[in-house]
Structure 1
Amino acid sequence: MLDFFFGHYAYWFSIILFSIGMYGMLFKKTLIKKIIGLSILQSSVILFFVSVASKVDATVPVYDYNIPVENVANYMNPLPHTLMLTAIVVGVATLGVAFTLLIAIYNRYQTLDEQELIERIHD
């Protein structure tokens, strides 16, 4: 049992981060904490995909005379890592836009509490 836990520590860490991010998004009342939870959740998904795509003792897919081409298990697939790099860039841009919208919401309604904001919008 311990071998299973320690052998898959990246997956367990991803699950813990995902749970923390989901908790922040669902149960926190201020919008800033919800956005921080979303960022943590996104980081956990990126960590999960990178840990799934990594291989032990694999190399980049550049032709090397010492590694036989027929054995593709010796090479690492760069596509998941590239997609996660794109996801990081999109996540940073989304986070910037979200915080900009939060500033605009605060300037207009003078609150970032979700329930208070809903009441002020409907009044």
Structure 2
Amino acid sequence: MSEKTEKIVYISTNGGENPEKATLPFVLANAALAMDVEAVVALQGPAVTLAKGDCLKHVFAAGLPPLHELVESFLEQGGVLMVCVPCIKERQIDQADLIEGAVPMAAAKLTAEILSANATLVY
């Protein structure tokens, strides 16, 4: 795989309550990685629940691959999954309960990722 020269950040604010919007950022992020574009998915607000334990295995959007498969592929391809620390604290989710590969972050880290990206999309 060639060195990635472009970068895109997807900010997801939807959890299992909206399976389609929760899944679409990972569909796009996997496509970006396949195109040798660096991809970051940041979970904020209700989306942080997706990074807790096996929650991903219960989210299915009609016509799209299962979310847990998309996230596994995303992480295996080198995607970065960031999870908002204030958001998990608000929902009483301990960092130790996050899925393997999830990176806890706060505002400054996400802002740095956005500033270094060629594009940012919010779902």
Q: What range is the shorter-chain TM-score in? A: under 0.3
Q: Report which of the two has the higher share of helix.
A: 1
* Bigger Cα Rg: 1
> Which of the pair has the greater relative contact order for Cα pairs under 8 Å at 6+ separation?
2
Q: Report which of the two has the higher share of strand.
A: 2
